Structure 1
Amino acid sequence: MKGALTRFRVMAYVVGVFLLLLVVAMVLKYAAGMDQAMKVVGPVHGFLYAIYLVLSVDLALKLRWSIKGTALVLIAGTIPFLSFWAERKVVEKTAQGVPL
């Protein structure tokens, strides 16, 4: 379980950072007409988000999260800054032994 939690934590931060980079790339694309950053960051974020989903579901199954808690953690990778908050909550709840 410790390994699954560590993998989840790393991917939550990585996905959160790349989501912020994606937002910057979108601003550059639509405000400055520079779409090259979007062509690079978009697919990378998508690939990393897929890994985040797999690792989150793995952790959810091991810790017996509810469907609602699992869904909220999965959605957290799509909203800027929310994956950082979700990661903290998952760590707190896991340390307390409380399922999501």
Structure 2
Amino acid sequence: MASPQQVHPERQKRVDTALKFFTIAATITGIFLVILVIRMVLEYIIGMEMPDWATLIAQAHGLAYMVYLLSILNLAPKARWSVGQWFTTALAGVIPFFSFWMEIKRRDQVKAMFQL
């Protein structure tokens, strides 16, 4: 079995920086998404009346999702992702709990590929 090709240290540094930004953005987006889902369950299924500030949660998730998309646009070309990987990773930011799973999967793939 052939050993993996050595990755240039400068490229490793660029990918590692992009990966850290992606990890932080994905985690924050996932947390806001879970909070948004809990809020929606409480409001629409249980019937609890939510305070006015609760609508800011949806806006916060929207802003976090935009930052998440920027992190994908930063990491994907450096990690040489396929179009399918771009799409599924972007979609993960709007599907509860899938976002956490996808972030872990992509992080592990990039770390293995670039020997981080």
TM-score normalised by length of structure 1: 0.89
Tell me which stretches of 4 or more aligned residues in structure 1 moved more than 6 Å.
none
- Residue 56 of structure 1: CA displacement? 0.9
Q: Would you tell me which structure has more helix in proportion to its own residues?
A: 1
2:96 is paired with a residue whose SS is coil
Find the counterpart in structure 2 of residue 51 from structure 1: 67
Counterparts of 1:60 and 1:39, CA distance in 2: 32
Match of 2:82 among 66, 79, 90: 66
1:80 paired to 2:96: yes
2:36 is paired with a residue whose SS is helix
In the TM superposition, 1:23-38 aligns within 5 A as 23-30=37-44, 31-34=47-50, 36-38=52-54
Counterparts of 1:94 and 1:34, CA distance in 2: 41
Find the counterpart in structure 1 of residue 19 from structure 2: 5
Aligned residues: 98
Ranges in structure 2 where 5+ consecutive residues have no aligned partner: 1-14
Ranges in structure 1 where 5+ consecutive residues have no aligned partner: none
The one-letter code of the counterpart of 1:43 is Q
Q: If you compute each CA radius of gyration, which structure gives the higher value, 1 or 2?
A: 2
Identity across aligned pairs (percent)? 36
